[in-house]
Chains A and B, each alone.
Chain A
Amino acid sequence: MIQVYLPIAEMSVDAAAIVALGTAVGFIAGLFGVGGGFLMMPILIFLGVPPAVAVGSGTNQIIASSISGVIAHWRRGNVDFKIGGVLLAGGVAGSGIGVLLFRLLRTSGQIDVAIRMAYVVFLAAIGGLMLAETVVSLIRSPGAGGKPRGTERFAWAARLPWPMRFPRSGLYISILLPLGVGCVVGVLMAILGVGGFVMVPAMIYILGMPTQVVVGTSLFQIIFLTMVTTFLQANLNHNVDIILTALLMLGGIMGAQWGARAGARLGARHLRILLALLVLGVCVGLVDELVSTPKEPFSVTIVRPS
């Protein structure tokens, strides 16, 4: 037990536990190429860190893990900078909306339930979609590459105005599509502290991007999105605890490197099934928390005149 005091969270935590959490989440993040925020947040809150500080500091930490992750993808040329830039533009707008929404929910006392419900909806949707798609493709063509079908399913998407060409991804789609996806991810990042985990499936299933550029591009735009979100959180909600960030980073970055190496040995489809199961598992846990009778129905918060 090495106790470290977190100045913004105003509590003392066991540094070893936080570093271990960072390593475990970093491993999973590196394995699947997502930020890992969707696992980090619920566990930090479970450890007693105030949800607001968990979200703010987690966002800050994702900057580091995304940068260390994107470099490898960049060298292999797996980053589509053009679509990444458009996603980012939408993301910045979404992040601004999200940070303000966060403030509103926090003062009304509904932030905890709002965070959990939003998690459940997205985890169920993404996990279910990924699992179904991958299982179906495994049954149909067990040997094939398993590239998921893209936008052809969404007839309305093809009718949207202002189409744009994205050569690296081989796409010709309306600019509104990546802008909208970016915006939704920005809102979710500010409220839930998650990014890549929503972004990666959205890129595959809504935009129809090829799998090999998805992770690199997602990481690329998440670097900048987390920077903007961190800046807004620190200024509007004062919920970025740099000591907590440092502890998470210490474990997270190393875990991410190991995860990326382990991921290289597993096939893309197996990875997707594992991620889908993980996502659904977290979702089931959250549903259970929401619907089963709580041991302690009361909670207490100190309000300070602002």
Chain B
Amino acid sequence: MKRPRALFAALGLCLLAGGSADAARPVVADLSNHLVAITTGFSGTHVLVFGATDERKGDIVMVVRGPQETHVVREKTRLAGVWMNRTEAYFSQVPAFYAVAATAPLDSIVPPEVRKHHQIGVAALELSATNSDGRALPADEAKRFREALIRLKSRAGLYPGGLGNVTTLENRLFRAELDLPATVPVGSYTVEVFFVQDGGVIGAEITPLFVSKTGFSAEVFDFAMYHAVQYALAAIAFAALSGWGIALVFRR
């Protein structure tokens, strides 16, 4: 019963602080860039997360979540000598990207129940496995698929393993570098910054971040999706003319 009270206290504090003056918020944070543009030459990027806290001593935890998507994890098993997908698990509302950074190791600053409540850290992510009808899987199977999902996501660089670094200055200013890989999924992200003291969250700030295709690659995508007939004809004409052109060049 201790935790909810602490949370309410924290919430009240935030409200009080917010009510009196904006400058008195326990933590403020912003990003160097709110829009990550995926252009034709995109090969990953960095976003700087920075901010300040009030004069109290505490730690900073940053959680970045990508767009929530339904993920299907399939497992291959051997059937008549051939490995094929036989079992599958659906995970709905799973962040397509997820990264955490903090000023100190998580277990030394945030107790497990707070981690679970705010879903801080991959281990605290709420990932419930269901079958295609939405019914929950048996516990041991759910665990296996859950581990596989996290492993695959982290191997793809979308759940960067380990804890990112948040550096502080004079106990008031903090900054963290967020690395987005070339495979970063498009969509709307949230960057949550928690100000933690004595194992309780005493302030939080949520900032949106958008990752979207822009320029040529966005135009190609929209053209392919919404004007499929014209896109198909353009693709065919492009290939045909190139083939013909090259044949003419090589004739000499």
Minimum distance in angstroms from B116 CB to a CB of chain A = 23
Which of B83, B233, B238, B246 is A254 in contact with, Cβ under 8 Å? Answer: B246
Q: Which interface class (under 10, 10 to 19, 20 to 34, 35 or more) fits B?
A: 35 or more
Provided the pairs A234-B235, A257-B250, A299-B85 are in contact, do residues A5 and B41 lie with their beta carbons within 8 angstroms? yes
Cβ–Cβ contact A3 & B182, under 8 A:
yes
User: Which segment, of A6-14, A155-163, A180-188, A275-283, faces chain B?
Assistant: A6-14
Whether A291 sits at the interface, judged by CB under 8 Å, is yes
Cβ–Cβ contact A234 & B243, under 8 A:
no
Which of B76, B216, B217, B231 is A234 in contact with, Cβ under 8 Å? Answer: B231
Across the interface, which residues of A come within 8 angstroms of B74, CB to CB? 109, 298-301
Q: Which residues of A247-276 have CB atoms within 8 Å of chain B's CB atoms?
A: 249, 253-254, 257
Across the interface, which residues of B come within 8 angstroms of A243, CB to CB? 40, 217, 220
User: Which segment, of B25-33, B148-156, B165-173, B201-209, faces chain A?
Assistant: B148-156
Provided the pairs A3-B182, A227-B236, A300-B153 are in contact, do residues A257 and B246 lie with their beta carbons within 8 angstroms? yes
Whether A123 sits at the interface, judged by CB under 8 Å, is no
Cβ–Cβ contact A300 & B220, under 8 A:
no
Whether A71 sits at the interface, judged by CB under 8 Å, is yes
Minimum distance in angstroms from B243 CB to a CB of chain A = 3
Q: Mark B211-240, 1 if CB is under 8 A from A, else 0.
A: 001001110110011001101111110111
Whether A126 sits at the interface, judged by CB under 8 Å, is no
Q: Mark A34-71, 1 if CB is under 8 A from B, else 0.
A: 00000000000000000000000000110111111101
Cβ–Cβ contact A238 & B224, under 8 A:
yes
Q: Which residues of A101-137 have CB atoms within 8 Å of chain B's CB atoms?
A: 109-110, 112-113, 117
The CA of A173 and the CA of B102, in the complex, are separated in Å by: 76
Cβ–Cβ contact A112 & B85, under 8 A:
yes
Across the interface, which residues of B come within 8 angstroms of A4, CB to CB? 40-41
| Interface of A (DSSP majority class) | helix
Provided the pairs A230-B232, A234-B224 are in contact, do residues A63 and B41 lie with their beta carbons within 8 angstroms? no
Whether B188 sits at the interface, judged by CB under 8 Å, is no
Q: Mark A6-28, 1 if CB is under 8 A from B, else 0.
A: 01101110000000000000000
Minimum distance in angstroms from B23 CB to a CB of chain A = 41
User: Which segment, of B65-73, B107-115, B117-125, faces chain A?
Assistant: B65-73
Cβ–Cβ contact B83 & A291, under 8 A:
yes
Whether A242 sits at the interface, judged by CB under 8 Å, is yes
Whether B183 sits at the interface, judged by CB under 8 Å, is yes
Cβ–Cβ contact A235 & B149, under 8 A:
no
Whether B88 sits at the interface, judged by CB under 8 Å, is yes
Cβ–Cβ contact A63 & B83, under 8 A:
no
Cβ–Cβ contact B220 & A71, under 8 A:
no
Closest to A302 in B: B69
Cβ–Cβ contact A64 & B232, under 8 A:
no
Cβ–Cβ contact A67 & B217, under 8 A:
no
Provided the pairs A5-B41, A299-B152 are in contact, do residues A294 and B182 lie with their beta carbons within 8 angstroms? no
Closest to A8 in B: B224
Whether A303 sits at the interface, judged by CB under 8 Å, is yes
The CA of A8 and the CA of B40, in the complex, are separated in Å by: 12
Most buried by B among A234, A300, A301: A300
Provided the pairs A11-B182, A234-B235, A249-B239 are in contact, do residues A5 and B39 lie with their beta carbons within 8 angstroms? yes
Closest to B228 in A: A235
Q: A5-B38, A68-B244, A249-B239 are in contact. List 17 more A-B contacts (CB 8 A).
A: A5-B39, A7-B218, A7-B224, A11-B183, A12-B182, A63-B236, A65-B243, A109-B85, A113-B82, A242-B231, A245-B235, A294-B76, A298-B145, A299-B76, A300-B153, A301-B74, A302-B70
9 A-B pairs with the lowest CB-CB distances in the bound complex, closest first? A67-B243, A64-B243, A3-B43, A234-B232, A12-B182, A298-B148, A63-B239, A7-B217, A68-B247
B residues in contact (CB < 8 Å) with A:
38-44, 69-78, 81-85, 88, 90, 96, 145, 148-149, 151-153, 182-183, 185-186, 213, 216-218, 220-221, 224-225, 228-229, 231-236, 238-240, 242-244, 246-247, 250-251
* CB<8 Å pairs between A and B, sample of 16: A3-B182, A5-B42, A8-B224, A10-B186, A68-B243, A68-B244, A109-B85, A231-B232, A240-B224, A240-B232, A242-B224, A290-B82, A297-B76, A299-B73, A300-B71, A302-B185
A residues in contact (CB < 8 Å) with B:
3-5, 7-8, 10-12, 60-61, 63-69, 71-72, 109-110, 112-113, 117, 223, 227, 230-231, 233-235, 238, 240, 242-243, 245-246, 249, 253-254, 257, 290-291, 293-294, 296-304
